[in-house]
Amino acid sequence: MSPSSTPRRRGSERTLELLDVTLSLAEEVGYRGLTVEAIARRAGVGKHTIYRRWPTIADLLLDALSHVWSSELDYRSQGAIRADLREQFLRSSYALSHAPLGPIYRAVIAAAQSDESLRAAIHSRFLKTVEESTLERINLAQQQGQLKSDADLAAVVEVLVGSLYYRWLLTDRAIDEGAVDGLIGMFMDAYGESGV
């Protein structure tokens, strides 16, 4: 055969290839297609090649999430707190609502409902990061006098993040600009220093 057909066996390159196949499956068939069999089939790979790398499909999906999500997490931190939150929430919400991140994340969260340690893994690998970066950003705003100084911001962050995830996971309402503006408006009404 000509060298055009893909050569086999490439160690860690195979790993990236499998992550890409996982992402493209999520693009095309969504949550339902994210099985070990389907991924192996599409990748032209034995199931062992997947199980050798990830003990369960959840671990694969967690890595696939990391692979696609890294650029979404950091705040730009350059403008007013209201504008920065708005941009960050809209960007995150867009990612949640579209392939490939949306279907994969949904699949992991669904699986986590029957696996407490997976729930903890999701929280420590993703949600904790979201909470912490948001906390840093509003802590900065508080230091700059844009927020009341007596607010318990750590608790506030959980409420902000929770509100978005609730809407995403459990309602059929979109996380649109109206929803984000409403949430941030509420936050600023409650904690913004008047006049900011």
Contact between 119 and its own copies (CB under 8 A)? Answer: yes
Helix (H) or strand (E) holding 160: helix 153-170
160-183-89 Cα angle (round to 5): 65
Interface of this chain with its own copies, residues 29 to 58, rule: CB under 8 A? 30-32
Q: How far is the CB of 55 from DNA (least distance, A)?
A: 7
Partner interacting with residue 120 (select from DNA, its own copies, none; CB below 5-8 Å by kind): its own copies
Which residues neighbour 73 within 8 Å (Cβ) at sequence distance 6 or greater?
A: 129, 130, 133
Both tokens assigned to 155: 């608790």
DSSP single-letter state for residue 80: -
138 exposed, middle or buried (CB, 10 Å; 0-12, 13-18, 19+)? buried
- HSE, CB side, 13 Å, CA atoms: give it for residue 6: 9
Partner interacting with residue 167 (select from its own copies, DNA, none; CB below 5-8 Å by kind): its own copies
Partner interacting with residue 97 (select from DNA, its own copies, none; CB below 5-8 Å by kind): none
Is the CB of 51 or the CB of 75 nearer to DNA? 51
Q: How far is the CB of 107 from its own copies (least distance, A)?
A: 7
* Binding stretches for its own copies (CB under 8 A): 30-32, 106-107, 109-114, 116, 119-120, 122-123, 127, 151-152, 155-156, 158-159, 161-167, 169-172, 182-183, 186, 189-191
